Structure 1
C-alpha cells in the first residue's frame, strides 16, 4: 500500500484499488500499468485535465522501477491518452471522454450499419467440413501427388530464391500465364495469349473482378437458375440487379422476351457442364448468346470450373474460342483439378477489354503466391498436370458409376431423377417436393454426409428445384454403397412423418 501522502493523488488512489499481479505468467508490470491507466481514462474515472504524478513518485507508489513507470507514460503519450510536458503530465482531452461508461444522452446514438448489398448475400445454412461424404466441389484430396508438388515447390524456391518474396507482377507470374495459355489452347480450344491471362486468388476473385471491370451498380446481370451460388454472391456484392434465367436440357434459356424486357450487361453461365444440373449449353444457344451479347453490348462470363473431367466422349470446347473476339470473359480454377487450398484461379480477358482495364488491374491487384505460381507453372509445363488429370478422370468415372449403381439399387422404390454425369465430380438427384431437401441434407450431416440441397442453388425455387447435389470427388469407392443406403433410409423416413 502506498504511503498516505501518495494516496492523495487521484491516479495512485485509483490504481491502488487493483494491485498489480506479480505471479508467474502475469503480464509485465509496464503492460499492466498501461492497461489500468488507459481503462481509467476511457471509463471516465480519470477525467480530461487530471494532473498525474511524476514518474519517480508513481514508481514508488506502485512498487515498480522508474523505467517501467516512464515506459508506461511514454506509450500512453504516444497513443494520445496523456500529455507529457515539462510542466507535468495530464490526461488528454479526448473526442469521446468515455467509451466504456455511457453518460446520460439527450439523443439516441446512431446505430452503425453495413452496406445494403450484404442483405442480398444468402447463407446456405449448411457449412460443412470438406471431409464429409458427398460434399460437392471437393476433389480427391488423398490422391493428390504431394511428393511431386513438393519437388515443384523446392525447384521454384531454389531457382527464384529471395527475388520471389516481393509482390511480383500484379497480373501473375509470366511463367504460369504462359503455361495456362498453352494448356487452354490445346485442351479447351481457348484463343488467347499469355498477356490475356490474369492470375487470381481462386475463381471467386475472378468473378468479383469481372463484375468490377464491366458493370456499374444497378446494371442487370443474368445468372443460371438454379446456378452457382458464388456467382450470385459476386453479382450481389456489385450492387447488380440479378435476373435468374431458367436452365433446361440445353443449358441457360435466354428468350427474346428477356432480351427485350431486361437486357443484361453481364451474363454468367457454365456452358460445358452446368452447375449443378450438368447440362451442356447447345451450340445453337452458344452462338445465339454470343451474337445477342454483341448486339446489346453485354459481356458473358464463361465459368469452366470442372470440364477437364469429361467422362463421355471428347472434351467440349470452350465457348470463348467459338468465334474471334467473342465478348467472353473466361474463368478457370485449380481448386477442382488440384486442391482448394492452393487458391489459384485465372481469368482470360478479351484483347479489347485488356487494354482498357490495364490501369484498374494493376492498381487493384497485388500479386503474391509467387512460389506456388512458379511451382504450378512447372507442374503444367512438365506434363505432370495433364497426367494427373488423366488419373483423376479415371478415378471420378469409377466413383460416379458406383454412385449411379447404388442410387439405382437403394432408391428403386423412391421417385427420383438423376441428372448430369457427363463431366465433373457430382450428380444431381431430383426428388418430389414431398421430400424436404433441406431437412434431408441437415439430417445427413449427423451421418458424415454433406449433400447440398438443390433448392439452395435457386434464387426463386420452383417444384423442379428440389433434390440433392451429390459430390463424389472426395468420397471413396468403398463407402459409397453404404452411404447411399443410409441416405435412402433418411429420405424414406420423411414418408412416415
Structure 2
C-alpha cells in the first residue's frame, strides 16, 4: 500500500466529493495503475479509519463498493485486490486504427428482413402486473412534468415548431452529458450525445453507422431481443455468447479467428439474468476490441436502480478512448411513452459519423426534449430517481418474500441487486414457454427466460423473468401464489 493512499488526508468542505467517494476513487485508481497488485490484501477497516480519521462505516462502504464493482474480493481473512487483466500503461495513447464509418447503401431483401423481425419475443400485454422492465407509472410526478412542459413551451420561440438539430436539442444534450458524467462516470461532452427515438433508435444507429451488411455481431445469450432485431435489420450475422455470473463469456479464439464488428453488452445489469460484468472482463473486452477494431455497444438501460451500495459505473468511462458506443434511455427512469433515448459517440468517431447523422436524422419531438431538459435542470429528475429507488427496493423485497413463500420446487433467483425485474431459473421439467403462457392467461405478464436466448430454447436458459416495477407490494403474495399453482400443475 503506498503512502499517498494511506496517509494523505482527504479533502473536506463545500463543493468537494464526499469522503467515501474520494477514498473509493483512490483505491480504484491505485488498482488500475498497478500500485495495488492483484491479491494484495487491503488494510483492516479499523486501521484505515484511524489513519485517515474517517468513520469505520465510510471505509466499510468503500470496501463493499469495491467488491460490487469487481475491484476487490472479500473472504473470511479480509478484502484483497481482485486479479485483473489490465491494459498496458499508457493505453490511452495506443496507436490503432478505429473502425471507419461505412458509406450508407441500400440492400435488397426486405421480405427476409420482415421475416427475421418475427424472431423478437412477444412482449405480451404490458399493462398486466409483473411485466419485466415496466416502471411504476402511477408514481410518476405528472404535475411536475406538466410544469416543465409549460415552462419549455413559454420560453420556446415559434421556430421550435420546425425541424431541429439532427442530433437533438442542445439543451437536452448538455443536460444528458452533465448527468452522465456525474451519475454514471461517462467520459463525454454534449457534442458527443445524439438524442434518439428510445434505446432502440440508438441501437439501430449503431448498426447503420458502424457496421456493413454481412458483418458479425455478438450479443449476450440470453439477451435483449431488441438488439437481435437491430442486428437482423442490418443484415448482420448474429452470434450469441453465453452468460455466467460475471457476465458475457467470449472465447479468446473467436477474437483471433472470427472477431465481431459489434459486441452488445449490458454490463451494469445483464438483461435478463442480472449479472454484473466483472472488472476483469470489462478490461479484457476493451483490450480485445482495441486490437480487433471492434465496437462495444454498452446498453446501460436501468443502471440507476441499484438497490445495494452505489450504482456500478459505466464501462465507457473506465479508460480514455475506449471503443464504446454508450446507449441509454429514459423509458425506465421516466416513462416509456416519452420515447427518448440517447447514444454517446466516442470522440474519435464523431468526425466521420456526424455528416451521416445529419442525413439520417431530422430533429423532432423538440418540445418534449426541451421539457425533459427543464425537468433535469430543475432537479425534478434526480428527486424522482431517489423516490423510485426506494420504491423499487421495497417492491423487490416483497417479490422475494412471495417467491420464498410460494415457489416450492427447486429454483434459483438471479439479479437481486439492481433493476426492475428478477429472474427465476427453473428445472427443465418446468417448461417456461408453457408456464409463461398460462401465467398471461391468469393475468400476469411473466416472461419466459428461454425466449431471450439468441440460439433458441436451452436447458441453461429455462426460467421466468418477473417484473416488480409496475406492481404494488400488496399484489405480490396473491399473484405468486397463483403462479405457484400453475407451476404445480406443470410438474404433473
TM-score by length of 1: 0.76
The residue aligned with 2:342 is: 346
**1:61 paired residue number:** none
- The C-alpha deviation readout for 1:35-83, integer Å capped at 9, x for no partner, is xxxxxxxxxxxxxxxxxxxxxxxxxxxxxxxxxxxxxxxxxxxxxxxxx
Match of 1:250 among 243, 246, 250: 246
Is 1:369 aligned with 2:381?
A: no
Within the candidate set 261, 268, 275, 1:265 is matched to: 261
1:229 lines up with 2:230 in the alignment: no
Q: Give the direction of change, closer, same or farther, for the CA distance of 1:293–1:277 in structure 2 (3 Å limit).
A: same
SS in 2 for 1:332: strand
Query: Do 1:326 and 1:350's aligned partners in 2 also have CA atoms closer than 8 Å?
Result: yes
In the other structure, the counterpart of 1:289 is 285
**1:312 and 2:334 are equivalent in the alignment:** no
User: What is the match of residue 317 of structure 2?
Assistant: 321
Query: In 1, Cα distance between the equivalents of 2:157 and 2:133?
Result: 34
Are 2:154 and 1:164 aligned? no
Match of 1:446 in 2: 441
Is 1:395 equivalent to 2:403 in the alignment?
A: no
Question: Residue 435 in 1 paired to residue 425 in 2?
Answer: no
> Which of 458, 483, 487 is residue 483 of structure 2 equivalent to?
487
Task: State the distance in 1 between where 2:417 and 2:163 align.
Answer: 40
Partner of 1:92: none
Runs of 4+ in 1 over 4 A off after TM superposition: none
1:457 pairs, out of 449, 452, 456, with: 452
Whether 1:141 aligns to 2:137 is: yes
Say whether the 8 Å CA contact 2:398–2:473 is kept in structure 1. yes
SS in 2 for 1:470: strand
User: Does the 8 Å CA contact 2:119/2:229 hold for their aligned counterparts?
Assistant: no
Q: For residues 8-51 of structure 1, what are the alpha-carbon distances to aligned partners after superposition, in whole Å with 9 as ceiling and x for unaligned?
A: xxxxxxxxxxxxxxxxxxxxxxxxxxxxxxxxxxxxxxxxxxxx
Structure 1 segments unaligned to the other structure (5+ residues): 1-111
Distance 1:485 1:116 in 2: 43
How far 1:161 moved relative to its partner?
3.8
* Residues 325 and 127 (structure 1), Cα distance of their counterparts in 2 relative to 1, 3 Å cut: closer
Higher RCO, 1 or 2 (CA under 8 Å, sep at least 6)? Answer: 2
2:9 matched residue in structure 1: none
User: CA 1:122/1:257 → structure 2, altered by over 3 Å: closer, same or farther?
Assistant: farther
How many residues matched? Answer: 384
CA contact (8 A) 1:126 1:442 kept: no
Offset from partner CA, 1:101-133 (integer Å, 9 cap, x none): xxxxxxxxxxx9843233323345644222201
Q: Distance in 1 between matches of 2:255 and 2:221?
A: 16
Tell me the SS of whatever aligns to 2:131: coil
Alpha-carbon displacement from aligned partner over 1:268-300 (angstroms, at most 9, x marks no partner): 000000000000001100000000000000000
Q: Which moved further from structure 2: 356-365 or 439-448?
A: 439-448
**Could you tell me the TM-score, scaled by structure 2's length?**
0.77
Equivalent-residue separation in structure 1 for 2:205 and 2:167 (angstroms): 12
